[in-house]
Amino acid sequence: MNKLIVISLDALGNIDEETYSKMPFLSKMIKKGSWIKNLKTIYPTVTYPIHTSMITGVRPIDHGVDNNLLLQPEKLAMDWFWDYKYVKVDSIFTAAKRKGLKIASFSWPVTVNADIDYNFPEIGNTYGMEFAEYVSSQSDSNYIRELFQNFGEVDPDQQPGYDEFLARSAAYTFNKYNPDLLFLHLINIDSKKHVYGSKHLAVDYAIKDLDARLERFFQEISKENNLDDINVVFISDHSQIDVFKSIKINKILEDMDLLEANEDGSTKDYKAFFLTNGGSAALYLKDKDDKETLEKIINKLKELNIEEVEKIIYKDEIEKLGASKDAVLWLEAKEGYIFDSQLGENLISKNNTKNHGNHGYLPDKNNYDAIAICVGPNFKEDTILEKESILNIAGTINKVMDLELESKNKNYIKEIIK
């Protein structure tokens, strides 16, 4: 069995094709492997639900991770779905462990406390601790210290330094500890698109930087491995859309006396709360069976007819989209707008947003697809697919690695496998 490396190129989208397809390293990979030019993702189009779908083959309504954020209205800065305990179905990780395979993972979302042999999990809030100290407490502390000793302590908010640390740590681990599967999540393009927007020159520089980093990564692992014996899946999760204004959607609930705020903007108590996903917002009720409150909110939204809201998505359509088991309503923003959970004086922000790119919208937006490139002994060379679903990536990995994944969706991409 050949080893497998999965590298997530966060926020690299089909909109970036003219740039990434001409980069020295990625253009070689396209020629050597199978290129999926438009990879349709899932709803909501945010990182944690999508990455969980990549390793399970199912949508958030099944795997349980329906947002980046946990529903914690009482917190001004909510925790994220960092812990693997939130994944409710079988995954590539658990299937690989049943086969006795070794796994390494670097900043892959929803992996705190996962059964991964060499795990540098993605973590946000460190609860006042130094990042190095906190991440060591959430994984094998000896292994984490070994990485910091070799490559220095790192600030996860500083890019591209954090991606460089992750890539160097991954190459080091692959060479020294010989895992059967390695997962690596690189984030710099997503960071740049959030700050500057999806079409800014800084994004082109970030793609160039990514290309060089990937080249160095594979040069390093080639010192101990024959690259021709390794399967590699380069995959992104979503693209981004340029934004300039935010919708303080919970102001509506506050005005209806359905939400009581603290002075700092956090929520003291609520009957209903909109949890935002950038370009969309999901409504949760404190009492899931409170139909009277839901009806009041729907009527108020219809009455207001907010110009900046593109669509109201009701429960039956949420279920068809596979977005969530618990959300009772979903709002989709028009392009150029995002939702903000925090309260404000105005429903629509007067000032432009601090960041100029975002995601979370319905996946059928133009120039909003993800991409994938699959290279290695089990993948066809010089093959192009115009369209495919990100839900079939887990089944493809399962097929290549013969993992016996227990999933309701075992579809794999036959056109790219030898």
Show the tokens assigned to 16: 């970036």
State how far the Cα of 272 lies from the Cα of 290, in Å rounded to an integer: 9
Q: Which residue ranges make up each domain of the chain?
A: 3-240+367-416, 245-354
State how far the Cα of 27 lies from the Cα of 41, in Å rounded to an integer: 23
Task: Place domain 3-240+367-416 in its CATH homologous superfamily.
Answer: Alkaline Phosphatase, subunit A (3.40.720.10)
- Which CATH number applies to 245-354? 3.30.1360
State how far the Cα of 76 lies from the Cα of 191, in Å rounded to an integer: 22
Contact 328, 315 (CB under 8 A): yes
Contact 386, 39 (CB under 8 A): no
Cα separation values, 307 from 238, 301, 393, Å: 26, 11, 37
Contact 214, 7 (CB under 8 A): yes
The b/e string for 238-247 (b: 16+ C-beta within 10 A; e otherwise) is bbbbebebbb
> Residue 79 has what DSSP assignment?
P
**Average pLDDT for runs of 10 along the chain of length 418:** 97 98 98 98 98 98 97 92 98 98 98 97 82 89 96 93 98 98 98 96 98 98 97 98 95 95 87 96 96 97 97 97 97 96 83 88 96 98 98 98 95 98
pLDDT reported for residue 321:
98
pLDDT reported for residue 163:
98
- Please provide the DSSP assignment of 183-248 as one string: EEEE-HHHHHHHHH-TT-HHHHHHHHHHHHHHHHHHHHHTTTS-GGGEEEEEE-----EE--EEE-
Amino acid at 348: I
> Residue 334 has what DSSP assignment?
P
Please provide the size of the chain in residues.
Answer: 418
pLDDT reported for residue 127:
75
Contact 44, 280 (CB under 8 A): yes
pLDDT reported for residue 313:
98
pLDDT reported for residue 345:
78
Contact 229, 315 (CB under 8 A): no
Cβ count near 327 (within 10 Å):
25
